[in-house]
Amino acid sequence: MTTSPPPPSGTPAWRVLFRMLAAFLALFAFAFWAAAGWNKGWTKNQIAIPQTDEITGIEFITYQDHFAPGLELLSAAFFFSIALFGITFLRRKNKS
């Protein structure tokens, strides 16, 4: 009596894992960007806080440490996610 090998599954496990990772990365990046202030400009390490000098009326700026990821970081994360997702569709060339 011989045992036959298991039938090949539809999608290899590593492809499924990479697709899940890509989806997780995209969702995490979007959630982090939105939670950090929905900053539609450049990434900032500090935020400018306008203040006014009482005697002179001069408006001046002080800075406070605050990380706000910008659209360029979100774009980079999406680009990486799409690349990761795209890798899962690559097929090895058959050597003839």
Partner 1 sequence: MKLPALLASLALAASVTAAPTSFDFKDPKGVNAVQFHLDSLLEPIAGTAGGVTGTVSFDPEAPAATTGKIVVAASSLKVPNSTMTEHLLGDGWIDAAGHPEITFELVKLDNVKTAGTTTTADATGKFTLKGVTKDVSLPVKLTYLPNALEKRTKPGNKGDLLVVRGEFTILRADYGIKPGQNEDKVANEIKLTLAIVGSAPKA
Nearer to partner 1, 19 or 44 (CB): 44
Under the binding rule (CB under 8 A), the answer on residue 61 touching partner 1 is yes
Contact 61, 49 (CB under 8 A): yes
Tell me, residue by residue from 8 to 47, as one string, x for binding to partner 1 by CB under 8 A and - for no binding. --------------------------------xxxxxxxx
- Residue 28: CB atoms within 10 Å: 12
Distance between CA atoms of residues 78 and 19, nearest Å: 13
Selection from 47, 39, 43, 45 nearest residue 64 by Cα: 47
Contact 68, 36 (CB under 8 A): yes
Nearer to partner 1, 11 or 62 (CB): 62
Nearer to partner 1, 15 or 44 (CB): 44
- Judged by the rule CB under 8 A, the positions of this chain that interact with partner 1 are 40-48, 53, 55-61, 63, 70-72
